[in-house]
Amino acid sequence: GCWGDEVMSNIFVREPNALRGILAQAARYLADGSCPIGELTWRSAYWSAQSAIAAAGDILDGAPAAYALCRPPGHHARFDAAGGFCYINNAAVAAQALRQG
């Protein structure tokens, strides 16, 4: 065929249980390969989302505008997967905080 083995092996799973290793298991929750996970990843993502919630709270308290400098950012994160160096969708978290008032 026109495709080499390196391409075909990435299209068709040849093993019944391809998700054995820790990296393969983590890939279930990653939209791409640009989300490194380390010891402090959750803490960083959590406090980043808290920054967005704090800005939403400022708006609810009457501030004419608010800005949250969130690192890691959140704009690539999906509800079910991290992606693009984003673990939690901070804009969605802030919107939910605004909805809940």
DSSP states of 14-30: -SS----SHHHHHGGGB
> Comparing C-alpha atoms, which of 73, 25, 16 is closest to residue 49?
73
The catalytic position among 76, 83, 86, 88 is: 76
Distance of alpha carbon 97 from alpha carbon 56, whole angstroms:
7
Active site residue 75: no
- Peptide bond before residue 36 is cis, with ω within 30 degrees of 0: no
The catalytic site residues sit at 76
